[in-house]
Amino acid sequence: MYIDILTLFPNMFDSVLGESILKRAQAKGFLKVKIHDLRDWTFDNHHSADDKPFGGGPGMVMKVEPVYLALKDIKSSEGSGAKVILLTPQGIKLDQKTVKRFAKEKELILICGHYEGVDERVRSLVDEEISVGDYILTCGELPAMVLIDSVTRLIPGVLGSGDSTASESFENDFLEYPQYTRPAEFKGMKVPDILLSGDHKKIDDWRAKEAVKRTRQRRPDLLRKK
């Protein structure tokens, strides 16, 4: 998968892309990420990618011209089939079904909003608008990192085993069942006997029931959706 990122703060991605699964996915060729500084498509002396909003109001608004020119150059050099996504609190909320859909794409272009938002005309240049939750962040770079991480995990071969994601939280609209590892007892807290039994059928049944139980207790809204 190819992911292009349009951002005003390219250095924010260094640590996230340089560690753990994302680092390995790139090293093995499953993922290729290009970070583009939107200021490269500005032409004034200060390389301004934002300006004061028409009509007055607080803060600054990201300009449409740098975004338009950046998308034009990227699409002309790498093809026009990429899905363009704007990270914004006004977008649809990111969930696992949406992540699965994005994971099937060959190329994504992520636009990271900032300041008081983007010029409304930027929205005419994108295919989808995505939010990571009903709260306000300083910038769209953090949601972009969340999206990249969640999508990369689903690229075949990245995690090594197709079973790695099958039972995780939000797969099939259930939270994940409780997990344990050694030691079998810690400060009086014991691992359930069923997990030590070696009976995989009973273990699978226990895990299925615990997933439903945990979802009912913590996220009943997921069960209502089903």
Percent of the chain with pLDDT over 90: 86
pLDDT at residue 49 greater than cutoff 70:
yes
Taking the C-alpha atoms of residue 191 and residue 104, their distance in angstroms, rounded to an integer, is 38
Measured from the Cβ of residue 53, the count of other Cβ atoms closer than 10 Å reads 15
Closest by Cα among 8, 5, 77, 86 to 40: 8
Q: What is the mean pLDDT of residues 122-134?
A: 97
Q: Which of 92, 122, 152 is the last residue of a domain?
A: 152
Q: Which of 104, 126, 152 is the last residue of a domain?
A: 152
Measured from the Cβ of residue 40, the count of other Cβ atoms closer than 10 Å reads 14
Helix, strand, coil percentages in the chain from 3-state DSSP, rounded to 5: 40, 20, 40
| Residues 132 and 175 placed together within one structural domain of the fold | no
Quick check: is 157 in a domain? no
Quick check: is 159 in a domain? no
Q: Which of 128, 152, 176 is the last residue of a domain?
A: 152
Domain count, the chain: 2
Return the pLDDT at 115.
80
| Residues 126 and 186 placed together within one structural domain of the fold | no
Predicted structure pTM score: 0.88
Return the pLDDT at 140.
96
pLDDT at residue 167 greater than cutoff 60:
no
| Residues 70 and 180 placed together within one structural domain of the fold | no
As given in the structure block, the two tokens for residue 47 are 């390389």
The three-point CA angle 131-160-194 to 5° equals 90
pLDDT at residue 165 greater than cutoff 70:
no
- Rounded to the nearest integer, the mean pLDDT of the chain is 93
CATH code, 118: 3.40.1280.10
Q: By residue range, what is the domain housing residue 179? A: 167-225
Return the pLDDT at 160.
82
